[in-house]
Structure formats: C-alpha cells, structure tokens
C-alpha cells in the first residue's frame, strides 16, 4: 500500500519558489489571474477562465469538458516555460494544485520507487529526494516549474536529465478520452523533447491532430525509480566539478551537489528571486542547436562541440542514452555572445529604459526589466535569432511554449 512520504522539513535546504511571487488573486473566491500573474516572465493578458484542480478527477473533468466544448486549453504548472501573448488566452487555464509524494517500493536491491502528482513543485521534490536519500536528483536542483512539466521537456542540467530517473508517466490521453500509463520507452525522450511535447505540433504523434499549447497527454503523475544513495552520481559537468573542488567522475555528498548547483544557478540568474529582474525570465530561452557534422565544421574552431545523446534510442531495459553519430550539439549561449549580443543587451529605446533585455548575468535568458510586454520580448527574441543566423547560419529554436500568439 503506497504511503505518503514527507521528509523532515528541518533537514531540507532553503526552498526555491515555484513562482517569482505569489499570485495576486484567489481562485477560490472566483477571481481570474492574468497570464502575467501565472508566469515567471510576468507578461501576458487575460484568460477566459481559470481553474485550480485539487483532485485528479477535477483535473480530468476540466480537461474533458474543455475538449468537448472545443474550448482552447492551457494546463499550467509553475509558468516558468511560457511566453504568453499580450492579447491573452481566450480559453480555460487549469493548474494542478495537488502536492503529493507516495512511496511504493524501497527494497529493490537498494532501489526506490515513488509516484509524485504533476502539480508538485519540482524543487520541493528535489529537496525531499535528497533528504530521503533518493539518488540522482541533486544536479537538477533549482529548476523552476512542476513535476508534470519535467518529462515534457526532459528537463536537465549539469550533466543530468530527468530521463535517467523516471520510470513512467500516468496521463490523461485527450485523443483516446481515457487515462493511460506511459512507460519510459514510450515517451521517446531526447534533448529537451518528448512525445508529450511533440504532440503539440506533430499530428502523427498527436493521434491525427495537433493540440495547441497543451499536448495530447496531460500529465497526472510521474513515477520515479532510482537507487538509494546519499552520494551523488559521478559528477559529469566540468563547471560543477570545479565549484565542488573535485574531479569529473567523482561522487560527493548529494547535499553538497545541491548547494553547488544552486550557487551556480544564482550566479546566472537562474534561481527565481522577486527582487532580481534577471530572474524575471523563462530560464534558458533557446535550446542548444543540434547540427549536422557539416554545419558544425562550418563554425569557428573555438565554438563548443558536444556529443548528442538520445534516450529514445536506448537499449530496452537500460537508461543509458547512446551517442547519435553524425550529429553535434553546440552552445546557444556561445553563439549569442559571439554574434554580438552580450550580457544586458537590449534593443534601442530612445529616452526610456529598456523593457526587455538579455540577462546581465547570462546571455541565454531573455528578461523582463519590470515593465515589459510580450511584444518587447518577442522583438528581442527575433533580433537575437536573426543576428545568430546572419553570423553563423544557425537558427536558434525558442524553448518556452508560446501561448496566445
């Protein structure tokens, strides 16, 4: 019988908020927040209606009713991966308010299996996992958003990806009109991608149609299967190893890894803090480009080059992502910087302070300086994309879901 698990909060490091600030409205009183209040970029207009689902049945009923009525649907988590239009969203916005962790097994040769509701704040899960000695989560500390969004994007940082931790996803299949259990292999996880995400725009994956800002599958819960460990996995990221003062490949205490990751993320403005406009962002706005070998050869010799791995090609029964031959990943941040867009870059706005700019800490983040509209951010986005393409012939792909455009 699954048991709810809540590690002693006194053992947890300081929390990282899911949103840059609390919502300014109370859905229980019938008020409707704007998309600016629901997203970390803090832009976006009004919504048609807003529901906070507190049970799985309420979440499913809301989705099913919207689909039956032909009403546009946006299922939102922490709002950290959304660029919302100024004109708003004339549909139903629903947020999963459930925050539950249930342990199902902890005796499988040192392994642990547990299921987490989709609305759970991702970093709350990371803190609980470290306190409970559930291995593998520490490099993913500080990532904003919710557990339900994690497999959609196959979130990753500092040499780790959620694909290495999860076992399956329980979801509502909007095409079939029923709940389904999707094992890891069915998700086809790759770099910042999955079938969950592909169904937004790929009609084949979507079962004969595309689904707009929320895909064919609405994640209800995620089951993780990990080793029990107080030490981290071997440190795979050179910058993290340097911050820890160890060599790549060493294992260290998971708490130390979390502290180091949060230090690195804060130095880049990637931990949400209301007073810091560099964190009024969607994190890394562009994915790192995946190039053919010929495209990579055309880049300057000092451009970063990394192997491309793809979990969707992993051998059955393993989580090791094989290297894809003939493809090379480069750094979007390097391309942006070397195309002339430095930290703090903003489009000229004579007589006024810029409404939007690149972060003053990290060129990969587009930020709201306090009074931006979506139009300011899209203009900055387009300028960066055009400049990188003109300089290097590479087209950057935005990572956030664009809503209402």
Instruction: Collect all residues with Cβ–Cβ distance below 8 Å to 152 and sequence separation of at least 6.
Output: 194, 196, 197, 215, 219
In the predicted model, what is the mean pLDDT of residues 336-358?
94
For residues 387 and 341, is the Cβ–Cβ distance under 8 A?
yes
Q: Which structure tokens are listed for 284?
A: 């890394």
Instruction: Collect all residues with Cβ–Cβ distance below 8 Å to 172 and sequence separation of at least 6.
Output: 59, 60, 63, 64, 178, 179, 180, 217, 218, 220
pLDDT over threshold 80, residue 3: no
**pLDDT tens, residue by residue, 71-99:** 999 999 999 999 999 999 999 999 999 99
**Distances, alpha carbon 283 to alpha carbons 22, 247, 353, 381, in Å:** 19, 27, 22, 13
Question: What's the pTM?
Answer: 0.88
In the predicted model, what is the mean pLDDT of residues 3-31?
39
Least confident stretch, 48-52, 103-107, 182-186, 282-286: 103-107
Annotated catalytic, 399? yes
* Structure confidence at residue 26 as a pLDDT band (50, 70, 90): very low
Residue spans per domain, the chain = 1-268, 277-403
Least confident stretch, 4-8, 38-42, 79-83: 4-8
Work out the angle between the directed axes of helices 254-267 and 122-131 (0-180°, nearest 10).
Answer: 150
Dihedral angle, C-alpha 256, 262, 268, 272, nearest 10 °: 180
CATH architecture designation of domain 1-268: 2-Layer Sandwich (3.30)
* Structure confidence at residue 16 as a pLDDT band (50, 70, 90): very low
pLDDT over threshold 90, residue 145: yes
| CATH (one of 3.90.78.10, 3.10.580.10, 3.90.79.10, 3.40.50.970) for 277-403 | 3.90.78.10
Same fold, 1-268 and 277-403: no
Please report, rounded to a whole number, the percentage of residues in the chain having pLDDT higher than 70: 90
Annotated catalytic, 54? no
- Residue closest to 221 by CA, chosen among 137, 115, 149: 115
Please report, rounded to a whole number, the percentage of residues in the chain having pLDDT higher than 90: 82
- From the candidates 52, 161, 164, 399, give the one annotated as an active-site residue: 399
CA atoms within 13 Å, Cβ hemisphere of 149? 28
In 32-121, which residue ranges form alpha helices assigned H by DSSP? Answer: 35-38, 56-69
In the predicted model, what is the mean pLDDT of residues 15-27?
35
- From the candidates 132, 221, 284, 357, give the one annotated as an active-site residue: 284
Identify the three-state secondary structure at position 38.
helix
In the predicted model, what is the mean pLDDT of residues 27-52?
87
Alpha-carbon span 222 to 125, nearest angstrom:
11
Annotated catalytic, 258? no
Q: Which structure tokens are listed for 301?
A: 């010799």
pLDDT over threshold 80, residue 108: no
- From the candidates 127, 192, 198, 265, give the one annotated as an active-site residue: 192
**Distances, alpha carbon 255 to alpha carbons 13, 355, 379, in Å:** 8, 38, 40
Which pLDDT score, from 0 to 100, does residue 130 have? 97
Average pLDDT over the chain reads 90
**Geometric angle at alpha carbon 362, from 358 and 363, rounded to 5°:** 45
The residue to which tokens 């930290």 are assigned: 343
């Amino acid at each position: 019988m699954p048991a709810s698990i809540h590690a002693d909060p006194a053992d947890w490091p300081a929390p990282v908020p899911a949103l840059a600030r609390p919502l300014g409205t109370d859905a229980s009183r019938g008020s409707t927040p704007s998309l600016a209040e629901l997203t970390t970029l803090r832009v976006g207009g009004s919504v048609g209606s807003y529901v906070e689902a507190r049970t799985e049945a309420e979440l499913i009923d809301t989705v099913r009713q919207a689909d039956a009525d032909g009403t546009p649907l946006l299922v939102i988590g922490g709002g950290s991966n959304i660029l919302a239009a100024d004109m708003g969203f004339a549909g139903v916005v629903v947020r999963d308010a459930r925050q539950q962790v249930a342990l199902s097994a902890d005796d499988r040769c040192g392994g642990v299996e547990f299921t987490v509701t989709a609305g759970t704040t991702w970093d709350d899960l990371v803190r609980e996992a470290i306190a409970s000695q559930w291995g593998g989560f520490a490099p993913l500390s500080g990532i904003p958003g919710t557990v339900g969004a994690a497999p959609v994007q196959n979130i990753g940082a500092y040499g780790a990806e959620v694909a290495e931790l999860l076992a399956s996803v329980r979801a509502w299949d909007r095409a079939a009109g029923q709940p389904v259990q999707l094992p890891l292999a069915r998700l086809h996880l790759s770099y910042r991608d999955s079938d969950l995400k592909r169904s937004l725009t790929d009609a084949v994956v979507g079962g004969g149609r595309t689904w707009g800002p929320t895909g064919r599958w609405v994640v209800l819960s995620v089951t993780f299967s990990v080793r029990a460990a107080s030490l981290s996995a071997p440190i795979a990221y050179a910058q993290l190893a340097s911050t820890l003062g160890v060599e790549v490949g060493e294992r260290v205490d998971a708490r130390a890894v979390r502290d180091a990751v949060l230090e690195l993320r804060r130095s880049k403005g990637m931990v949400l803090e209301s007073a810091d406009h560099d964190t009024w962002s969607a994190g890394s706005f562009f994915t790192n480009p995946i190039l053919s070998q010929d495209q990579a050869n055309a880049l300057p010799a000092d451009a970063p080059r990394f192997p491309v791995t793809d979990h969707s090609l992993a051998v059955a029964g393993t989580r090791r992502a094989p290297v894809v031959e003939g493809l090379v990943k480069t750094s979007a941040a390097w391309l942006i910087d070397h195309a002339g867009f430095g930290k703090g870059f903003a489009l000229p706005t004579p007589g006024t302070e810029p409404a939007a700019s690149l972060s003053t800490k990290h060129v990969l983040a587009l930020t709201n300086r306090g009074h931006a509209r979506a139009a300011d951010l899209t203009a900055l986005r387009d300028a960066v994309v055009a400049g990188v393409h003109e300089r290097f012939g590479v087209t950057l792909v935005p990572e956030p879901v664009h809503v209402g455009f």
